[in-house]
Structure 1
Amino acid sequence: MEDSPTYDELAEELLRELVGLVGALTPVMVNSTRGETATLMTLSRAGTPMTPGQLGEHARVSSARVANILRALEEKGLVTRAHSAADRRSVEVSLTDAGRAEAERIRAERTKTVARYLSELGTDDATQLLRIVGRTVDILRDRAAREGAAR
């Protein structure tokens, strides 16, 4: 009878697989998680204007990087920046109609891409993957809440 692997052994294997997963991502996939696309999708999900600082916190990028991203998006007509009505010192970023349409196009494209991937996994594996990812999110959020409360 074979011994079950330890959690340390499983952790090492998972970390190797995650490195492999990152290596298998195409540049388009990687770029969609940061930069202009990530900013558009963040604003779309928020549904309300956000400050450049909030966008930077969400993307974990510097204020200089956010400024460059916003300048590019503004030049493309996808976002607007305006002073906040509540605090004239603060700037709020909003999607334009073209920005909302682009975010929806990206969302539809992502959904199709992920659906193709899930179909390759098959129904059983896709269902298990979703269950495990959901459970992982719950565990990590609970841990973060506990660690935040302990500070």
Structure 2
Amino acid sequence: MTPERRCADALGRLLLRDTRTGLHSALTGGIDGLDATTYPVLSGLARLGDGVSTTELAAAVGLERSVASRHVNTLEAHGLLLRRPHGTDRRAVAVALTDAGRAAVDRTRGRLDARLERLLSGLDRAEADRFATVLEGVVEGLRDPAR
């Protein structure tokens, strides 16, 4: 099997819902209001930054607006984010992380870092750094339709 086919197969498995759900479940265990379905919304907001609309957030994490809105409701009910008037669109509502939301993001990122450290433990530091560099390049290449 060619390296390209091996990469395509591995990428396909990485993007499968059960792979993502399993990872998200492992990261969110024991955090009130956060589970495999709400995690992408909270994590997406942390990446995008406070003040995005629910519509922008939904598009960024690949959810229908109504689904993202339900997850925002859940996260808000658990004190992990809040809604406020959008800064530039009077018809829209912006979402922002609360202190508890930021703490939840920090906790899940810490868990992810620890998991990746275990997964990369068979590589020396230079190999792990090279892998990260190659992975970053692959992600950027997939985002750029011209490549």
* TM-score over 0.5 for the pair: yes
Matched residue, 1:14: 7
Counterpart AA for 1:91:
V
1:59 positional shift = 0.9
1:122 positional shift = 3.6
Counterpart AA for 1:109:
R
| Greater helix proportion | 1
Counterpart AA for 1:28:
G
Q: CA RMSD in A?
A: 2.8
Gaps of 5+ in 1: none
Gaps of 5+ in 2: 28-35
SS in 2 for 1:88: coil
* Cα distance change of structure 1 residues 58 and 138 upon mapping to structure 2, 3 Å threshold: closer
Counterpart check, 1:114 vs 2:116: yes
Structure number, greater radius of gyration: 1
1:109 positional shift = 1.3
Once superposed, which parts of structure 1, at least 4 consecutive aligned residues long, lie more than 6 Å away? none
CA contact (8 A) 2:52 2:86 kept: no
Matched residue, 1:28: 22
Alpha-carbon distance in structure 2 between the residues aligned to 1:134 and 1:128? 10
1:140 positional shift = 2.9
Percentage of identical aligned residues: 25
Matched residue, 2:48: 46
Aligned length: 137
Alpha-carbon distance in structure 1 between the residues aligned to 2:49 and 2:127? 33
Per chain length, whose mean CA-contact separation is higher, i.e. which structure has more relative contact order (CA < 8 Å, sep 6+)?
2
